[in-house]
Amino acid sequence: MTPVPATKVDHDRVFQDDVPDGAFYFKNDSQVWLVCPCGCKGLMCLAIRTPNAPRTKTPQWEWDGNTEAPTLAPSIRDLGGCRFHGHLQNGVWTFCSDSGQR
Domain that holds residue 35: 4-95
Q: Is residue 88 situated within a structural domain?
A: yes
Whether 102 shows a pLDDT value over 70: the answer reads no
| Per-residue pLDDT tens over the stretch 38-62 | 999 999 999 999 888 888 878 899 9
Q: Is residue 100 situated within a structural domain?
A: no
CA 28-75-70 angle, 5° bins: 45
- Local structure of 14: helix, strand or coil: helix
Q: Is residue 61 situated within a structural domain?
A: yes
Which 8-state DSSP code applies to residue 3?
-
Backbone angles phi, psi at 46, to 5 degrees: -115, 140
Q: Is residue 91 situated within a structural domain?
A: yes
Which 8-state DSSP code applies to residue 54?
P
Count of domains forming the chain: 1
Q: Which of 45, 70, 38, 41 minimizes the C-alpha distance to 59?
A: 45
Give the global pTM: 0.90
